[in-house]
Structure 1
């Protein structure tokens, strides 16, 4: 098991952490102890206990990881959200160099951290979607639609989630995850390694985003993006008892 205290973030590196939220439920009180009053209030709004506990675990782990990267106690981390919903730290001594993103789906949570570059991450549980074709029509660009329909139907579910996670990751890295529709980002389903797209988000000028698909547990798909080039990804698994 890795020791958090030994982990260092290299230049041009994005660090990724996976965590199974349900695997951490025995430590839910430990995670709750580091949450802010606002986060505790939000957790209490969940009707289902499982959803409440998952929220506590997710945000508790985030604070623990941020504490090592930012050099602060987990309970002293001040997390705020922009008008578009992108989280950021407000009490950094180095002008906000530490950037992060978080995404979860069906019990699995994914965290991304970088320095001096905006980052975005998205993870999705791959499930059959009866409305998949309608979503493609409504949320994909014309080029993406043409590419999507050029593939055999047996491959389209996989392609759908590849498009979706890449587009979500770019929008999160751009800091516009809740403000822009998915069809304002034009990506491609080809390629699995590091790739840089020149993306026009809405009517804005072209911007470059690096994108990388992530290896995930079976049944999930994920992508990470950054607003600058990154040459390395370090992937870690967060375990209870760290």
Structure 2
């Protein structure tokens, strides 16, 4: 599988995006109580209320670290304090920068699975990111039959158990990254065509000028980024 080699570098002091740059940030969602509290202090009142609705403490902590890290990173691009960031939300809940930051022309998307978060940031280009921990699933074929195209389901069925799991999550992350970029959500998952094999990189079979890139952010994780432009320059930062 031909994925971009991800060399995760410490973030530079001055964050800058050109029209062809795409920055991918890897976020460790497992942090100390001290760091969690510091990040919580950057959140808005509605974000704090949302965090408190999580039943399990680890889910609450992951939300706080993810949203706090998002604010911290975007603050670096916008040259404002994290607590000053304001968000609006699309109909399906995808956050975007409030109108006061419209001149920045920044687009972003964040995804997390287990203790790993991925954030994509682009300039003027719609972007979608998805990451999934590749866990064993007893109903994998049923999900593939429900959410994938017929030919994709047949490919899943033909593979051995190890390849079946890997290819399923590759399909899933590629499709979801595209739908997160467009804002359509999972309701159209079965309409997005992906051409891939266990040994070949995925290609997005949709109309328009979109770039799909698969990533391997960590062992046992699948991830994909979709950007509304081709020939992007990807850079990888460690939050």
- TM-score normalised over the length of structure 1: 0.87
Instruction: Check if 1:216 corresponds to 2:225.
Output: no
Residue 183 of structure 1, aligned match among 187, 190, 205: 190
Residue 118 of structure 1, aligned match among 102, 123, 126: 126
SS of the residue corresponding to residue 18 of structure 2 reads: coil
* Unaligned stretches of 5+ residues in structure 2: 1-8
Partner of 1:71: 79
Residue 160 of structure 1, aligned match among 159, 162, 168: 168
Partner of 1:202: none
Distance 1:235 1:3 in 2: 9
Residue 142 of structure 1, aligned match among 137, 145, 150: 150
SS of the residue corresponding to residue 228 of structure 1 reads: coil
Q: Does the CA contact (< 8 Å) of 1:85 and 1:177 recur in 2? A: no
Residue 23 of structure 1, aligned match among 26, 31, 42: 31
C-alpha change, 1:101 and 1:188, in structure 2 (3 Å) is same
Partner of 1:235: 236
Q: Does the CA contact (< 8 Å) of 1:120 and 1:171 recur in 2? A: yes
* Unaligned stretches of 5+ residues in structure 1: 200-205
Partner of 2:46: 38
Distance 1:96 1:3 in 2: 19
Q: Which has the higher contact order (CA 8 A, sep 6+)?
A: 2
Q: Does the CA contact (< 8 Å) of 2:141 and 2:157 recur in 1? A: no
Residue range with higher mean Cα deviation, 24-33 or 132-141: 24-33
Distance 1:93 1:110 in 2: 22
The count of residues paired between Structure 1 and Structure 2 equals 229
Distance 1:129 1:93 in 2: 42
